[in-house]
Structure 1
């Protein structure tokens, strides 16, 4: 297994795999209240069988080269994660998603982990466009898109039904050339 350092605070990005279902479920139990207002991700893992099933879906996606999931560990504890929710190698488009429990909030973990995913998607896999699609009301997720240097492409009004309510979704993206230019500019400073 591999781990990628996310900085001096000991945070690591690692693959999240089926054998970690119990750890993932415990994390989802801690994250549920923080995640559920925006997406049904935590609601999809409410017991060990459903946690395994969610991780199996991503293992299947990885095997088909259509998605991947990674956990963010802080001091040896799973506190969040990032994923390629959609990964379309042929078209060169992908979408990154994220989640976090309160213990990981406010540390820049999602931003740092997302940078690693975008670097890999652009530099290794040759992706052309990386998207970020948060609920318009999820100000923390919108702030991550801004920190990543993404451009707001628009809003899909009332596009996402969740918990009996329709939510606006913002579409944010960064193109490979923009990502490289922004990264190179930051390195030159």
Structure 2
């Protein structure tokens, strides 16, 4: 498979495939509480078969052209990832997202990786609107949206219950012309 360098710090963006299940599970176990602070990403992956099932669900999405999952490796260790949770090429929209374990934070990995994915989505696939959704309490994720030049579209107030509390979701987006102008 391929790996895309994210800079001179040993960081790489690679597809995250079902055959990475053991590595994915080890990564989730290292950072589970941190990763699941705001979202339940990977929370159902508690053993190798269930980790493989999560990865297979995204492999199926990739095959159907409705989503995809990519890992972020730092010096050979999986520390997080980025994804297209929803991908609608025909409609010209997608929803991007991310997760990290503590060892991957504070390095700009998500921002660097998302720039590559957004460029690809807009320039290669014709996506017009890239959306980013984050809990209002998830300040690092909102900071990524800002660094990517996204505009805050609004807040879905108390739209989901997580860990016994009602949470708000901020919706951010960037449109293809805005992305191109900022990249020029």
In structure 2, what is the equivalent of residue 111 of structure 1?
A: 111
- Determine the structure 2 residue equivalent to 1:149: 149
> How far apart are 1:49 and its partner, in Å?
1.4
In the other structure, the counterpart of 1:46 is 46
Q: Which residue of 2 aligns with 1:62?
A: 62
TM-score by length of 1: 0.96
Unaligned runs of 5+ in 2: none
Instruction: Map residues 132-147 of structure 1 onto 2, 5 A cutoff.
Output: 132-147=132-147
Counterpart-to-counterpart distance in 1, 2:160 and 2:140: 18
Shift of 1:98: 0.3
Pairwise CA distance, 1:44: 2.2
What TM-score do you get using the length of structure 2 for normalisation?
0.98
Number of aligned residues? 184
Is 1:87–2:108 an aligned residue pair? no
Q: Distance in 2 between matches of 1:182 and 1:146?
A: 12
Report if aligned partners of 1:136, 1:168 keep a CA contact under 8 Å in 2: yes
Structure 1 stretches (4+) deviating beyond 6 angstroms? none
Aligned to 1:187: none
Gaps of 5+ in 1: 185-189
1:66-96 CA-partner distances (Å, limit 9, x unpaired): 0000000000000000000000111100000
Matches within 5 A, 1:1-189: 1-184=1-184
- Do 1:31 and 1:42's aligned partners in 2 also have CA atoms closer than 8 Å? no
3-state DSSP class of the match of 2:134?
coil
Aligned partners of 2:43, 2:182: CA distance in 1, in Å?
Answer: 36
Structure-1 separation of matches of 2:117 and 2:162: 27
